[in-house]
């Protein structure tokens, strides 16, 4: 079992390099993934992750003991991303390449349906408008509380809650439409095989 | 699809992973401890503020005059002469941010000397009252708690048990964390019990080491700072006269043991309102003293201690909750794995140190373990009745 988050914050504030390595180990994937979700490509997301940690080392003295390290890092990452967009004005499209699952895809035949269903869900998330997609990513994929999502995005927790509700509504709508369509197709194919 | 099912599936989704080399690249970017000052957690700066210039100009010459060596029993005029410029300079700042290390354990009072404890860091942001009627503001963070007074109300938060308390008064003794008050306290020490061990002014810094005799606590072992023979060292900047450091040691069994030391002091004009914003988790549990039946109002501290342990032994959650304002502690006390099994001794209440309440010595069996300690009780609540405040 690793250090508790509270104790890790304490050690970070002491300037303990071992605690810094732990901060990297625990959260670099989350930071990178969030930057990809915001629209950075793989190389740019890696660079921005490095920038995020460089800023974190500079600001470690401002870290509060009650702070959630993940939301603190993601707030820095978001600011780094927005700064990059302002200065470099790149073409960014949120989550266009985030539909594919990590890894090699489904293994046994039995996993195929689950695989397809997750790809479908990922497609549905990517189809959400940017603010909703980011809210879903922070709340569900990154595991932040509504209040923490609000802190990262700079909006009240109540706004986050309503965005979550809207996002879930849209996702359900889209998935149910797809399922209905697939159901009709499957029934059609079955009928064609066994007329 | 049900909302719960959709949320479960969303929770399972993972964002794309970076290439394997990223973690190593990030590790390489971690500054080593030798570069601390560049990365924001190093020794704090002592800014020179314009408003201090006049004081420095007036007093700097006096402090620079010579290296004085005052060793021996403290001479009130000489001690006052050395300390007064430090007090004058240090009390002119509007706010401070302190980092202090103290010997102790979680849940203990600041003046309690626990020789079995460890050095624990305390972070304090203090804004001194600016005018009559201004109560000042304070935020004090210790490993186990945050105590904050924003000028209107005090919130105490315990991250370990995710529990908070709120009350409309200042819950922080500002003088405990105000450098000018420390020096004033030393200046006002009764001289018969104080000896100047060394006094040195060189390399831009003044240092004064004092030895104080502890108050007689026989037949009991000393428990609080005032009961120990102790030494105090203060260090100040000879140009600005600002206090730079303070260290205190206690003597026990002939051994000198560090009790507290200042790690850093930031002298500031003011603190931002942001400093006093305490964001608590959504699911925080609020504790507090409940309205009690009449019979509880008349109980003395010893009866409350006995009643608390007895109710916990019987698993009477309702009764425990009336005597203990901490929901997490109530849970713990009535849990069948933790609850007391036998009350062996409840002693006479006593007051000690700076603590606003009383201590009640107890010896209670918890399963196979016998605990012998002091239960802390306080009655500074709207009902003025004694309730649990720590010590288990």
- What does the pLDDT look like over B59-96, one tens digit per residue? 333 333 333 344 555 555 567 788 989 999 998 899 99
Contact B163, B330 (CB under 8 A): no
Contact A31, A73 (CB under 8 A): yes
Q: Which of residues 25-44 of A touch B (CB under 8 A)?
A: 25, 28-30, 32-34, 36-37, 42
Domain extent, residue A113, equals: 106-195
Q: How far apart are CA A160 and CA A171, in angstroms?
A: 16
Q: Which of residues 145-174 of A touch B (CB under 8 A)?
A: 145-147, 151, 157, 168, 171-172
Would you call B188 helix, strand, or coil by DSSP?
Answer: coil
> Average model confidence (pLDDT) for chain B?
80
pLDDT above 80: residue B343: yes
**pLDDT tens by residue, A75-115:** 999 999 888 887 776 666 655 556 554 444 444 444 555 55
Q: How far apart are CA B130 and CA B135, in angstroms?
A: 8
The verdict on ipTM greater than 0.95 is: no
Question: Sorting pLDDT into bands at 50, 70 and 90, what band is A14?
Answer: low
Q: Do residues A136 and A178 both lie within one domain?
A: yes
From B15, which residue of chain A is nearest by alpha-carbon distance? A33
Q: Do residues A48 and A120 both lie within one domain?
A: no
**pLDDT tens by residue, B7-56:** 888 888 888 888 888 999 998 888 765 333 333 333 333 333 322 332 33
- Whether residue A55 is contained in a domain is answered as yes
- A124 lies within 8 A of chain B by CB: no
Q: Do residues A11 and A86 both lie within one domain?
A: yes
Within 8 A of B277 by CB-CB distance, chain A residues are: none
Q: How far apart are CA B19 and CA B21, in angstroms?
A: 6
Residue A33 belongs to a domain with what CATH number? 1.10.1740.10
Q: How many CB atoms lie within 10 A of CB A42?
A: 13
Token digits of residue B151:
């000028």
> Average model confidence (pLDDT) for chain A?
79
C-alpha R_g of chain A: 20
Q: Which of residues 61-90 of A touch B (CB under 8 A)?
A: 61-62, 65-66
Rounded to a whole number, what is the distance in Å from the CA of B15 to chain A's nearest CA? Answer: 5
**pLDDT tens by residue, B244-286:** 999 999 888 778 889 889 999 999 988 888 888 888 887 889 9
Q: Do residues B295 and B267 both lie within one domain?
A: no
pLDDT given for residue A137 in this prediction: 92
The CA distances from residue A176 to A49, A100, A136, B58, B287, in Å, are 36, 20, 18, 80, 45
Which backbone phi and psi does A174 adopt, to 5 degrees? -65, -45
Q: Do residues B307 and B330 both lie within one domain?
A: yes
Q: Point out the residue among B16, B36, B157 whose CB comes nearest to the CB of A36.
A: B16
Within 8 A of B42 by CB-CB distance, chain A residues are: 15
- Whether residue A101 is contained in a domain is answered as no
**pLDDT tens by residue, B300-316:** 999 999 999 999 999 99
Question: Sorting pLDDT into bands at 50, 70 and 90, what band is B324?
Answer: very high
| Contact: B26, A60; criterion CB under 8 Å | no
Q: Do residues B125 and B248 both lie within one domain?
A: yes
Q: Do residues A91 and A33 both lie within one domain?
A: yes
| Contact: B26, A49; criterion CB under 8 Å | yes
Count contacts between A and B (CB, < 8 Å).
Answer: 139
- Torsion, Cα A145 A37 A63 B150, to 10 degrees, reads -50
Q: Do residues A57 and A92 both lie within one domain?
A: yes
- A126 lies within 8 A of chain B by CB: no
- Whether residue B284 is contained in a domain is answered as no
Q: Do residues A92 and A118 both lie within one domain?
A: no
Token digits of residue B32:
């080593």
């Amino acid at each position: 079992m690793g250090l508790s988050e509270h104790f890790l914050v304490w050690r970070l504030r002491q300037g303990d390099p071992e605690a810094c390595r732990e901060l990297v180990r625990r959260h670099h994937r989350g930071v990178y993934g969030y930057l990809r979700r915001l629209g950075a490509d793989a190389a740019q997301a890696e660079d921005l992750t490095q920038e995020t940690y460089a800023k974190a080392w500079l600001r470690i003295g401002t870290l509060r003991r009650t702070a959630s390290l993940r939301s603190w890092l993601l707030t820095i990452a978001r600011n780094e991303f927005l700064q990059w967009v302002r200065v470099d004005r790149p073409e960014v499209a949120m989550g266009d390449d985030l539909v594919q699952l990590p890894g090699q895809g489904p293994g046994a035949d039995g996993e195929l349906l689950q695989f397809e269903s997750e790809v479908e869900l990922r497609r549905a998330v990517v189809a959400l408008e940017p603010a909703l997609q980011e809210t879903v990513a922070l709340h569900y994929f990154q595991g932040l509380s509504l209040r923490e999502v609000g802190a990262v995005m700079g909006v009240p927790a109540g706004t986050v809650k309503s965005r979550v509700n809207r996002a879930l509504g849209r996702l359900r709508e889209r998935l149910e439409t797809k399922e209905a369509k697939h159901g009709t197709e499957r029934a059609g194919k079955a009928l064609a095989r066994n007329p | 699809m049900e909302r719960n099912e959709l949320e479960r599936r969303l929770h399972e989704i993972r964002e794309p992973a970076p290439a394997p080399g990223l973690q190593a690249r990030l590790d390489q970017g971690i500054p080593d401890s030798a570069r601390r000052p560049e990365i924001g957690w190093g020794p704090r700066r002592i800014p020179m503020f314009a408003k201090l210039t006049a004081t420095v100009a007036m007093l700097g010459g006096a402090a620079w005059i010579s290296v004085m060596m005052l060793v021996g029993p403290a001479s009130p005029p000489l001690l006052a002469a050395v300390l007064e410029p430090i007090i004058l300079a240090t009390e002119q700042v509007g706010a401070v941010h302190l980092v202090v290390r103290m010997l102790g354990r979680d849940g203990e009072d600041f003046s309690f000397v626990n020789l079995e404890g460890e050095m624990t860091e305390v972070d304090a942001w203090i804004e001194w009252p600016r005018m009559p009627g201004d109560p000042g503001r304070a935020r004090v963070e210790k490993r186990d708690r945050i105590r904050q007074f924003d000028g209107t109300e005090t919130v105490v938060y315990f991250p370990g048990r995710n529990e908070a308390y709120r009350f409309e008064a200042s819950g922080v003794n500002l003088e405990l964390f105000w450098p000018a008050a420390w020096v004033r306290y030393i200046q006002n020490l009764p001289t018969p019990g104080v000896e100047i061990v060394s006094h040195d002014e060189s390399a831009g810094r003044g240092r004064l080491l004092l030895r104080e005799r502890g108050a007689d606590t026989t037949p009991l072992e000393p428990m609080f700072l005032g009961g120990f023979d102790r030494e105090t060292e203060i260090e100040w900047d000879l140009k600005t006269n600002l206090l730079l450091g303070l260290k205190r040691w206690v003597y026990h069994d002939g051994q000198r043991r560090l009790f507290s030391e200042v790690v850093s002091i930031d002298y500031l004009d003011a603190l931002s309102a942001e400093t006093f914003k305490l964001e608590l988790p959504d699911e925080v549990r609020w504790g507090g003293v409940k309205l009690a039946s009449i019979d509880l109002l008349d109980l003395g501290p010893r009866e409350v201690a006995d009643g608390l342990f007895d109710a916990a032994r019987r698993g009477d959650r309702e009764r425990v909750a009336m005597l203990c304002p901490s929901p997490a502690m109530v849970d713990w006390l009535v849990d069948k794995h933790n609850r007391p099994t036998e009350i062996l001794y409840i002693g006479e209440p006593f007051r000690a140190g700076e603590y606003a309440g009383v201590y009640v010595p107890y010896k209670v069996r918890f399963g196979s373990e016998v605990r012998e300690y002091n239960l802390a009780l306080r009655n500074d609540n709207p009902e003025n009745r004694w309730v649990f405040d720590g010590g288990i």
